[in-house]
Amino acid sequence: MQIMKKVVLGLILLVLFGSCNKTTEIYNLKEFCNYTVDCYKNDNKSNAIKLQITKNEVTATFSSMKLPAELKKQRLAALEKQDKEGYFDTENLEKKYLSIRSREDDDFWENCTIKDYEYLKTDKWYGYEMAEPIVILQYGDYTANFKIGELIKTQKGWKIIRGPFWK
């Protein structure tokens, strides 16, 4: 009986720790929207922040795009400026997360459901898929438009360039 308890406890711990390391490499846009909402519903700040594109991912994406040389130069200069201004700093990303999440109270986040989606279509930009989806959240009679952000599909799945926002 003791061995069975240890095996069950081990399996439970394995499941718990395995779910903590869920990858954020999501290639389906609707699944990415659902996962983003789940991060906010469950107050999972660290995983929500991992959905943001990193400076290295932006650099790799720009490098692989067939951008005209002058546009690539401008984009890389803008990237460096963003980096110097702290755009990619964890502290700033945490502040943005808290700003979005604190607009609604915990009761809203615990009980809201996804009512609908808007703008799930994607556009191509120099060979990369981009999107600006909105998830309509419902809490009782109240609905809120949660724009997941300006997204790009990278080699590591969908990433948030800018966002999320309330619309």
Residues 148-167, mean pLDDT to the nearest whole number: 96
Residues 119-124, mean pLDDT to the nearest whole number: 96
Q: Is the pLDDT of residue 24 over 90?
A: no
Residue 113 lies inside a defined structural domain of this protein: yes
- What is the distance between the alpha carbons of residues 97 and 164, in angstroms, rounded to a whole number? 8
Q: Which two tokens stand for residue 12?
A: 């439970």
Residue 149 lies inside a defined structural domain of this protein: yes
**pLDDT band for position 161 (cuts 50, 70, 90):** very high
Per the CB < 8 A criterion, the answer to whether 137 and 144 are in contact is yes
- Residue 17: the pLDDT is 38
Q: Is the pLDDT of residue 12 over 80?
A: no
Residue 111 lies inside a defined structural domain of this protein: yes
Q: Is the pLDDT of residue 3 over 50?
A: no
Q: Say whether the peptide bond before residue 68 is cis (omega within 30 degrees of 0).
A: no
**pLDDT band for position 63 (cuts 50, 70, 90):** confident
Which domain range does residue 130 map to? 26-166
Closest CA to 129 of 70, 65, 50: 65
Q: What is the pTM of this model?
A: 0.83
> Which of 17-31, 79-93, 94-108, 115-129 has the least mean pLDDT?
17-31
Instruction: Look at the chain and report how many structural domains it folds into.
Output: 1
Strands of the chain (E only): list them.
113-118, 123-125, 128-131, 134-139, 142-147, 150-154, 157-162, 165-166
Residue 114 lies inside a defined structural domain of this protein: yes
